[in-house]
Homo-oligomer: A and B are copies of this chain.
Amino acid sequence: MKTKALFYHAGCPICVSAEQKLVGSLDASKFDIEVIHLGEDKARVAEAERVGVKSVPALIIDGEVLHINFGADIAALR
């Protein structure tokens, strides 16, 4: 069974760049990757904060939050 991976972003240049490099580099045989644009899906900002996302872009694997570089603070997306 594949592991769910979540990639939260906000459409910023740093987010898009990280998405292109990282999401496409993950082993697709191991992961189902969901990409969530928090700028367009505000309802999921609270969910992102609950799992520990402090800034975007961020990748969640097995419940662990990996903040990738720094695009925007999660508080700016509420």
B-binding residues in A (CB < 8 A):
5, 17-18, 21-22, 25-28, 30-31, 59, 61-62, 64-70
Contacts and interface: CB of A to CB of B under 8 A. Distances in A.
Copies in the complex: 2
Contact of A25 (B17, B30, B65): B30
A65 to B, nearest CB: 8
Contact of A61 (B22, B31, B62): B22
19 contacts: A5-B25, A17-B64, A21-B61, A21-B62, A21-B64, A21-B66, A22-B59, A22-B61, A22-B66, A25-B26, A25-B27, A25-B30, A25-B61, A27-B28, A65-B69, A66-B68, A67-B69, A67-B70, A68-B68
